[in-house]
A and B are shown apart, each in its own frame.
Chain A
Amino acid sequence: MRRILHAIPLLLAVILLNYGLIAATPGDPVTALVGDFPAPAAYRAQVRHDYGLDKPVPIQALRYLVRVLHGDLGYSFANRQPVVSLIAGRLLATLELVGTALAFASIAGVLLGAVSAQFGGGIFDRATRGALTVGYALPEFWVGQMLILCFAIWLGWLPSQGAHAIRGAAGGWAGIADGLRHLLLPAIALSLRYLALIARVTRTSILDVLGANFVLAARARGAGSIRVLFGHALRNAAAPVLNTIGFNLGFILAGSALVETVFGWPGIGRLLFDSIESRDYPTMLGILLLVSVCVVGANLLTDIVHRLVDPRVA
């Protein structure tokens, strides 16, 4: 509860920062709200009035806050749509991509980390750790380009662009298969860095746990090494993995923006890129707000779940 109360001022501050960016934009703040579009003068005047831009700054900021709290992120002139519905229309695609990438990064990362820890110090461990360090240094968008180069252009196995076949999504199994084929490369590109991070964290925490008393106790009771690993050690590794994801969500979403741009994935990241290209300020700021809120929410959730999962944090 205290945690939730703690998050509220952070959220308000994020909204105020958004307002600050609008107010600090070179030129007329109305332009930042409308975007650089030849909007009719009447519309500009209305925006000026609605946002109280003829009023003193504190009142302006307060009004903006109230609007955002009412779920009004403004209107995108470039897309002739309210920003909220524009973002909502892209949300699913981004969730699909980020969700898949994180699921893959978690499963593969934990397995790799666990096996690496099991063979601690051996050749496998050393090779894995080397590979992970490299994986963590690779920029997502470049990995994306390289994957396109190999699997779409040279081998021709997978499509390089979009979320479904050009002639639209098919139904049934064919549709699912088609969706997966499109999802594979961007999901791998996005997951690589977090896979490396999770594997590292898992390995360290398992090594810690493997030396801990209760594992020794389990071993003493005659539990096999596989059972020890999966029964005790992995359960204890869950918390750090969760932390890794929770506290990196901001970076993951930013990575998604880059990967979506490389693969023409119709999600929020691509929307951000397009809105930057067309200087569609309301959409840009709406996405910034959304991502910030997600980050605050993820931190909060991570804290709460952490308490439930980790026996040591009470």
Chain B
Amino acid sequence: MITSLTRRAFTGASVGLAFAAGRPGLAIAAPSIAVLAIDADPPTLNPALSTDYATGDVGAKIFEGLIWLDRTYNPQPSLATQWQYAPDGTGWHFTLRDGVTWHDGKPFSADDVVFTFNEVLARFHPRTSGVLRAIGARVEAPDARTVQFTLAKGYAPFLVQMSVFDAPILPRHIYANTDILANPANQMPVGTGPFRFTNWTRGAAIHVQRNPAWWGDAAGLDEIVFQIVPQPANRSAGLETGEIDAVVDFYLPKPDEPRLMQEPNLQFRRGINIPAVYFLAFNTKRPAFARKASRQAVACAIDRDRLVRQVMRGLARPGYGAFGDGFKWLLDDADSYKRKYPLDPAQARQLLAQAGYDGKSVSLVYDAARPQLRATAQIVQDNLRAIGMPVELAPLERAVEMDRVFAKHDFDLTLQSYFSAGDPAIGYHRMYLTQIGDKALTNCTGFSDPDVDRQLAEAAIAPDRDHRAEIYRRLQVVLNEQLPSLVLFDEETVDFASRKLTGLWPAIDARDQWGGVRFAAN
């Protein structure tokens, strides 16, 4: 009762407007408004400046990239309709869509793309700026409908980084010659996407409405409301009561998801996500894990199926190998953990003895604020105790933890999770590349193999996927044997929405491509 009351109170204003527009008494359709939950006010609504999750969520409705990635990672045309690349991967050529306008009515052109890359993405985007620098990208516009990229060296995942999250295209006429970080358009964005920004009530909600001038078929929803719901438990409760129409996995407490999957009024998409792995990194400079036999012992001792069942409530896949199993094209069953390291505490004890382990306790450092890591740490502690290796848990605040792991290297074991961002070369190579210095979120293990480095570099450049797969299979043979890090599980996300919505989630990222979403006619 209360629910329907608030729902009415909520839509009352818009209904009133429709009536005022002069169609009283008619059985007009109520405006179709979808309510999506986000966790907090985003720091900005400009996805070129921040990789904040909510920024990307709102931004992906308003802005567009040159391409978007479908559920199987195939690039689909967005602001670019065609693209070609030079055989060595150093040149990319994009043909832009005709007749695209910005939300303020100004025409879109190649100048906007060049400006966005040179003046905004290369300077401010947390991920893309580094990539553009590393590959030495130059961007030019030979004419108003063409953009040409020249790279100093090939870069296999180039296209993957052209999506709205890594390379949203901004309007040059609004940002040129301004202080980009302080531009008011960061709070009132102007994009080319299916929805345009209407208003933002801090701490409450952000509204976007259909862009009638969008180049595609007009969006199926009149309006999207991003409702700010700070309590995680409330976001799942809101889905159950119907107060919220859709929530992306990121905002939901893991323990609630199995229950939500049983809910008859909800639909969900499971396990289709940009791969991310949770892993246990060994400090190979410490006596306990200097030898590979002791690392292999740990691999034989940790019950990865139990981690999946109890920590992730079944919403994960047990560790497969050095790069997880998120990228199906690079897998090779013969050398997988399942073959090499089946759960076997007796074998583990033997390997430990062989490594000359002295029985001293080892430290396990992890980020205290993440409940999944705490549960994982407790199971690791339990499993290793069973083979005679006492583990001292050290949950630390994130900044302290990073300092201890990546700068001071003061740990024996640590739990980390790395996001692939769509390609092993973007997100996973850092786990194994030789690391000198104290850069955070890289290879903290002290493991260094020039041959591995060389092959990783080759895999990052090669534009041909079969060729890359071959390199990654060779690498897995070495890395699964050496085990500088043990991949514990691959995350499986579950995105939820009301059954009343159709046309959901065509993209790999659930936040992307909402133009085709609509309420089912009933």
Cβ of B5 within 8 Å of any chain A Cβ, yes or no, is yes
Q: Are B2 and A178 in contact (CB under 8 A)?
A: yes
CB-defined contacts of B7 to chain A, threshold 8 Å: 167
Q: Quick one: given A166-B229, A277-B369, are A174 and B399 in contact (CB under 8 Å)?
A: no
Q: Quick one: given A160-B237, A279-B400, are A167 and B231 in contact (CB under 8 Å)?
A: no
Cβ of A63 within 8 Å of any chain B Cβ, yes or no, is no
Please report the C-alpha to C-alpha distance between residue A36 and residue B400 in the assembled complex, in whole angstroms.
7
Q: Quick one: given A80-B43, A181-B2, A279-B399, are A167 and B10 in contact (CB under 8 Å)?
A: yes
Q: Are B399 and A264 in contact (CB under 8 A)?
A: no
What 1/0 mask marks residues of chain B from 240 to 273 whose CB sits below 8 Å from any chain A CB?
0101100000000000000000000000000000
Q: Are B35 and A167 in contact (CB under 8 A)?
A: yes
What would be 17 A-B contacts, judged by CB atoms less than 8 Å apart? A36-B398, A159-B237, A162-B230, A165-B2, A165-B6, A166-B229, A166-B238, A166-B241, A167-B10, A167-B243, A168-B205, A174-B6, A178-B2, A181-B2, A264-B231, A266-B230, A277-B368
CB-defined contacts of A174 to chain B, threshold 8 Å: 5-6, 9
Please report the C-alpha to C-alpha distance between residue A174 and residue B8 in the assembled complex, in whole angstroms.
11
Q: Which residue of A lies closest to B7 (CB)?
A: A167
Cβ of B86 within 8 Å of any chain A Cβ, yes or no, is no
Smallest CB separation, B213 vs chain A (Å): 29
Cβ of B181 within 8 Å of any chain A Cβ, yes or no, is no
| Contacts A166-B243, A167-B243, A170-B6 supplied; 15 other A-B pairs, CB < 8 Å | A36-B400, A38-B399, A160-B233, A161-B231, A161-B234, A161-B237, A162-B230, A166-B37, A166-B238, A168-B227, A170-B10, A264-B230, A264-B234, A278-B369, A278-B398
Q: Are A162 and B369 in contact (CB under 8 A)?
A: no
Q: Which of A36, A159, A181 has the most CB of B within 10 A?
A: A36
CB-defined contacts of A277 to chain B, threshold 8 Å: 368-369
Please report the C-alpha to C-alpha distance between residue A161 and residue B232 in the assembled complex, in whole angstroms.
9
Cβ of A230 within 8 Å of any chain B Cβ, yes or no, is no
Please report the C-alpha to C-alpha distance between residue A170 and residue B6 in the assembled complex, in whole angstroms.
7
Please report the C-alpha to C-alpha distance between residue A264 and residue B227 in the assembled complex, in whole angstroms.
16
Q: Which residues of chain B in 188-241 are interfacial with respect to chain A, using CB atoms and an 8 Å cutoff?
A: 204-205, 227, 229-231, 233-234, 237-238, 241
Smallest CB separation, B249 vs chain A (Å): 18
What 1/0 mask marks residues of chain A from 255 to 273 whose CB sits below 8 Å from any chain B CB?
0000000001010000000
Cβ of B98 within 8 Å of any chain A Cβ, yes or no, is no
Please report the C-alpha to C-alpha distance between residue A278 and residue B370 in the assembled complex, in whole angstroms.
11
Cβ of B358 within 8 Å of any chain A Cβ, yes or no, is no
Q: Which of A37, A170, A266 has the most CB of B within 10 A?
A: A170
Cβ of A171 within 8 Å of any chain B Cβ, yes or no, is yes
CB-defined contacts of A178 to chain B, threshold 8 Å: 2, 6
Q: Are B397 and A36 in contact (CB under 8 A)?
A: yes
Of B10, B233, B397, which contacts A161 at CB under 8 A? B233
Please report the C-alpha to C-alpha distance between residue A166 and residue B400 in the assembled complex, in whole angstroms.
35
Please report the C-alpha to C-alpha distance between residue A304 and residue B368 in the assembled complex, in whole angstroms.
45
What 1/0 mask marks residues of chain A from 23 to 57 whose CB sits below 8 Å from any chain B CB?
00000000000001110000000000000000000
CB-defined contacts of A170 to chain B, threshold 8 Å: 5-6, 9-10
Interface of chain A: mostly helix, strand, loop or mixed? loop
CB-defined contacts of B9 to chain A, threshold 8 Å: 170-171, 174
Of B35, B205, B234, which contacts A162 at CB under 8 A? B234
Q: Which residues of chain A in 168-183 are interfacial with respect to chain B, using CB atoms and an 8 Å cutoff?
A: 168, 170-171, 174, 177-178, 181
Please report the C-alpha to C-alpha distance between residue A279 and residue B233 in the assembled complex, in whole angstroms.
23
CB-defined contacts of A80 to chain B, threshold 8 Å: 43
CB-defined contacts of B231 to chain A, threshold 8 Å: 161-162, 264
Partner-B contacts on A (CB < 8 A): 36-38, 80, 159-162, 165-168, 170-171, 174, 177-178, 181, 264, 266, 277-279
In the A-B complex, the 7 residue pairs with the closest CB atoms: A264-B231, A36-B399, A279-B397, A161-B234, A161-B231, A166-B238, A170-B9
CB-defined contacts of B5 to chain A, threshold 8 Å: 170, 174
Smallest CB separation, A155 vs chain B (Å): 15
CB-defined contacts of B241 to chain A, threshold 8 Å: 166
Please report the C-alpha to C-alpha distance between residue A148 and residue B37 in the assembled complex, in whole angstroms.
22
Please report the C-alpha to C-alpha distance between residue A279 and residue B367 in the assembled complex, in whole angstroms.
12
CB-defined contacts of A165 to chain B, threshold 8 Å: 2, 6, 243
Please report the C-alpha to C-alpha distance between residue A277 and residue B204 in the assembled complex, in whole angstroms.
23
Please report the C-alpha to C-alpha distance between residue A115 and residue B425 in the assembled complex, in whole angstroms.
75
Please report the C-alpha to C-alpha distance between residue A278 and residue B400 in the assembled complex, in whole angstroms.
11
Q: Which residue of A lies closest to B6 (CB)?
A: A165
CB-defined contacts of A171 to chain B, threshold 8 Å: 9
CB-defined contacts of B35 to chain A, threshold 8 Å: 167
CB-defined contacts of B238 to chain A, threshold 8 Å: 166
Please report the C-alpha to C-alpha distance between residue A161 and residue B238 in the assembled complex, in whole angstroms.
11
Smallest CB separation, B8 vs chain A (Å): 9
Q: Which of B10, B244, B397 has the most CB of A within 10 A?
A: B397
Q: Are A37 and B399 in contact (CB under 8 A)?
A: yes
Q: Which residues of chain B in 390-406 are interfacial with respect to chain A, using CB atoms and an 8 Å cutoff?
A: 397-400
Please report the C-alpha to C-alpha distance between residue A174 and residue B2 in the assembled complex, in whole angstroms.
9
Please report the C-alpha to C-alpha distance between residue A168 and residue B6 in the assembled complex, in whole angstroms.
9
Of B43, B244, B397, B399, which contacts A166 at CB under 8 A? B244
Smallest CB separation, A124 vs chain B (Å): 37
Smallest CB separation, B482 vs chain A (Å): 32
Q: Are A168 and B233 in contact (CB under 8 A)?
A: no
CB-defined contacts of B227 to chain A, threshold 8 Å: 166-168
Please report the C-alpha to C-alpha distance between residue A214 and residue B186 in the assembled complex, in whole angstroms.
73
Smallest CB separation, B382 vs chain A (Å): 25
Please report the C-alpha to C-alpha distance between residue A80 and residue B50 in the assembled complex, in whole angstroms.
15
CB-defined contacts of A38 to chain B, threshold 8 Å: 399
Smallest CB separation, A281 vs chain B (Å): 10
Q: Which residue of B lies closest to A27 (CB)?
A: B400
Q: Are B10 and A168 in contact (CB under 8 A)?
A: yes
Smallest CB separation, B496 vs chain A (Å): 15
CB-defined contacts of B244 to chain A, threshold 8 Å: 166
Smallest CB separation, B396 vs chain A (Å): 9
CB-defined contacts of B368 to chain A, threshold 8 Å: 277
Q: Which of B35, B238, B368 has the most CB of A within 10 A?
A: B238
Smallest CB separation, A156 vs chain B (Å): 10
CB-defined contacts of B234 to chain A, threshold 8 Å: 161-162, 166, 264
Please report the C-alpha to C-alpha distance between residue A279 and residue B238 in the assembled complex, in whole angstroms.
30
Please report the C-alpha to C-alpha distance between residue A162 and residue B234 in the assembled complex, in whole angstroms.
8
Please report the C-alpha to C-alpha distance between residue A171 and residue B8 in the assembled complex, in whole angstroms.
12
